[in-house]
Amino acid sequence: MLNAFLCVIRRDLLLAFRRQSDAFAALLFFVIAAALFPLGVGPEPAQLRAMAPGVLWVAALFSSMLSLNRLFASDHADGTLEQLLLCAEPLVVIVAAKTVAHWLVAGLPIVLLAPVLGLLFDLAPDAIGVLVASLLIGTPVLSLLGAIGGALTLGLRGGGVLVSLLVLPLQVPVLVFGAGAVGAQTSGLGASAHLLLLGGVLMFAAVLAPWATAAALRIALD
Amino acid sequence: MTLEAAQLAGARGGRALFSGLDFTVGAGEALWLRGANGSGKSSLLRMLAGLAEPAAGTVRWRGRDLHRQRDGHLRELLFIGHAPGLKDDLSASENLLFGAQLAGAPVDASAVAEALAAVGLDRVARLPVGRLSQGQRRRAALARLHLARQARLLLLDEPFAALDQASVAALVATLDRLLANGASLIYTTHQPQTLAATQLHAVDLDAHRPRPC
């Protein structure tokens, strides 16, 4: 089972490496979307600090959306998804592996870039630390919940828009707790409560989302 | 070992494709699914692979209901669908190696190289599949026949499509060898029948099309 899990991750990472433009496009979107806000609202540091958590989290959320409809769609188009479904390992293992690979390609780079963008918004070092921690816990949830949407909209026209409509409402708690953690840290309340809630959401999603995604894939391919 | 279909019915998008289908395929036997475009040949193959549920009826592999006992069936199944199941950005050898690893087959790079050589793709084995012709892609997909030694049930959707004459002859020889070794084969093709299997049956799906009300 572990072999199949690692095999799917290796395969998806190799595919992402061969198609670097896809990953870079989503990352570039994150940087540009976040960088445009200071240009639009002005260079007032206090204002930038206040809006930074929300802006960075919304940019991260939209950036992760960009790659969601490709999570299963390309495998579906070329027939490899059928081969994955016929693999003797449980489908939930395959789905979990693909979700981990998606996070490594689409989520982890956002976490690594966040400190640079935090500086752009004049965030204090401790707030940047909380921002990174909240993204580290929260971006896997974006991939986990996004995978459900990607599977549900498989083979549908306009799947990209539908994924957003399905998944964005589910991701509101992640946005609230993630941005709230940085805001609480900046205002001196401490971020632990928000981060713990975010961790709870991650646990919940990690346990349930792969099963829901696997079920959605079976329905989509039937 | 036998695959049995009883009173099988298939539908796609709410439209009935076929009904009342009964057949049995034993070890060393081949079943040719015939029918016009849209008659449900690919849908039937997907049903037999466990990818789709029948609208009615049952499919049994080794006496067990396929949709309840999937694990044993999957370990003995090789399904090559209408789409080749290959990633364009990976080479043919990478595609086969990942596929074999996922299937749990004890396959290494040399076995993959031998399989690709058997289908005449040894010189392009390291090229991305996206740069191969349709016929070469089909041959790369069919190279799985040389790797899945544990497969006892072969489900092939249009295996002869896009192949040149030499490749068709090589594929026929491979399928005959696998049948002689006890595998069961169910396949679709619009090409004239060329398999030399002694136990060759055919099912015409057009004859099982539901009558309009």
ipTM here: 0.85
The predicted structure's pLDDT at residue A142: 94
Interface test with chain B among A15, A80, A85, A219, by most B beta carbons within 10 Å: A80
pLDDT band, very low/low/confident/very high, at B213 (cuts 50, 70, 90): low
Provide the 3-class DSSP secondary structure of residue B150: coil
- B115, B18: one domain: no
The predicted structure's pLDDT at residue B63: 82
Q: How far is A1 from chain B (nearest CA, A)?
A: 9
Distance of alpha carbon A128 from alpha carbon A119, whole angstroms: 8
- B143, B193: one domain: no
The predicted structure's pLDDT at residue B1: 63
Q: Which residues of A touch B108 (CB under 8 A)?
A: none
The predicted structure's pLDDT at residue B72: 66
Tokens of A97: 């592996």
The predicted structure's pLDDT at residue A145: 94
Q: In the listed set B151, B172, B202, which residue is the last one of a domain according to the structure?
A: B151
Interface test with chain B among A17, A78, A154, by most B beta carbons within 10 Å: A78
The predicted structure's pLDDT at residue B36: 86
Whether B6 has a pLDDT exceeding 70, the answer reads yes
Whether A205 has a pLDDT exceeding 60, the answer reads yes
Query: In the predicted model, what is the mean pLDDT of residues A149-155?
Result: 86
pLDDT band, very low/low/confident/very high, at A203 (cuts 50, 70, 90): very high
Q: Do A78 and B102 touch (CB under 8 A)?
A: no
- B130, B158: one domain: no
Q: Which residues of A touch B104 (CB under 8 A)?
A: 3-4, 87-89
User: For residue B190, what are the CA distances in angstroms to A32, A177, A219, B164, B201?
Assistant: 53, 59, 30, 15, 15
Domain count, chain B: 2
Domain count, chain A: 1
B17 has a chain A CB within 8 A of its CB: no
B101 has a chain A CB within 8 A of its CB: yes
Whether B37 has a pLDDT exceeding 80, the answer reads yes
pLDDT band, very low/low/confident/very high, at B149 (cuts 50, 70, 90): confident
- B62, B72: one domain: yes
- B2, B69: one domain: yes
Q: How far is B60 from chain A (nearest CA, A)?
A: 17
Distance of alpha carbon A23 from alpha carbon A28, whole angstroms: 9
Which of A100-114, A158-172, A181-195, B132-146 has the lowest average pLDDT?
A158-172
Query: In the predicted model, what is the mean pLDDT of residues A53-67?
Result: 90
Q: Do B94 and A14 touch (CB under 8 A)?
A: yes
Element (H, E) at A103: none
Q: What percent of chain A has pLDDT over 90?
A: 52
Q: Which residues of B touch A3 (CB under 8 A)?
A: 101, 104
Q: What is the mean pLDDT of chain B?
A: 85
Tell me which residue range forms the domain holding A183: 2-221
Q: Which of B51, B76, B5, B41 is nearest to B159 (CA)?
A: B41
Q: How many CB atoms lie within 10 A of CB A136?
A: 18
User: For residue B210, what are the CA distances in angstroms to B16, B18, B58?
Assistant: 7, 6, 18
Which of A158-167, A186-195, B122-131 has the lowest average pLDDT?
A158-167
pLDDT band, very low/low/confident/very high, at B140 (cuts 50, 70, 90): very high
Most confident of the ranges A58-67, A208-217, B120-129, B196-205 = A208-217
Q: How far is A59 from chain B (nearest CA, A)?
A: 29
Give the closest of A4, A79, A94 to B85, CB-based.
A79
Q: In the listed set B151, B184, B202, which residue is the last one of a domain according to the structure?
A: B151
Whether B133 has a pLDDT exceeding 70, the answer reads yes
pLDDT band, very low/low/confident/very high, at A103 (cuts 50, 70, 90): very high
- For A30, residues 6+ apart whose C-beta sits below 8 A from its C-beta are A59, A60, A62, A63, A110, A113
Q: Do A77 and B83 touch (CB under 8 A)?
A: yes
Q: Which residues of A touch B88 (CB under 8 A)?
A: 78
The predicted structure's pLDDT at residue B160: 87
The predicted structure's pLDDT at residue A42: 81
Higher pLDDT, A46 or B211: A46
Residues 120-159 of B with CB under 8 A from A: 128
pLDDT band, very low/low/confident/very high, at A212 (cuts 50, 70, 90): very high
Interface test with chain B among A82, A91, A93, by most B beta carbons within 10 Å: A82
Q: Do B50 and A86 touch (CB under 8 A)?
A: yes
Q: Which residues of A touch B79 (CB under 8 A)?
A: 82-83, 86
The predicted structure's pLDDT at residue A61: 92
Whether B96 has a pLDDT exceeding 70, the answer reads yes
Q: What is the mean pLDDT of chain A?
A: 90
Query: In the predicted model, what is the mean pLDDT of residues A100-129?
Result: 92
* Residue whose entry in the numeric block shows the structure tokens 């899945």: B148
Q: Do B85 and A77 touch (CB under 8 A)?
A: no
Query: In the predicted model, what is the mean pLDDT of residues B145-170?
Result: 87
The predicted structure's pLDDT at residue A92: 93
- B66, B90: one domain: no
Higher pLDDT, B64 or B71: B64
Provide the 3-class DSSP secondary structure of residue B4: strand
Give the closest of B81, B90, B103 to A87, CB-based.
B103
Whether B177 has a pLDDT exceeding 80, the answer reads yes
Tokens of B80: 């090559």
Whether A84 has a pLDDT exceeding 80, the answer reads yes
Whether B196 has a pLDDT exceeding 80, the answer reads no
Tell me which residue range forms the domain holding B29: 1-76+152-213
Query: In the predicted model, what is the mean pLDDT of residues A80-92?
Result: 88
Could you give phi then psi for residue B25, rounded to 5 degrees?
Answer: -125, 120
- B109, B139: one domain: yes
- B159, B185: one domain: yes
B71 has a chain A CB within 8 A of its CB: yes
Q: How far is B71 from chain A (nearest CA, A)?
A: 6
Distance of alpha carbon A94 from alpha carbon B211, whole angstroms: 41
The predicted structure's pLDDT at residue B206: 79
pLDDT band, very low/low/confident/very high, at A175 (cuts 50, 70, 90): very high
The predicted structure's pLDDT at residue A19: 87
Q: Could you write out the DSSP letters of every residue in A9-63? A: HHHHHHHHHHTHHHHHHHHHHHHHHHHHHHHHH-S-HHHHHHHHHHHHHHHHHHH
Most confident of the ranges A127-136, B76-85, B187-196 = A127-136
pLDDT band, very low/low/confident/very high, at A186 (cuts 50, 70, 90): confident
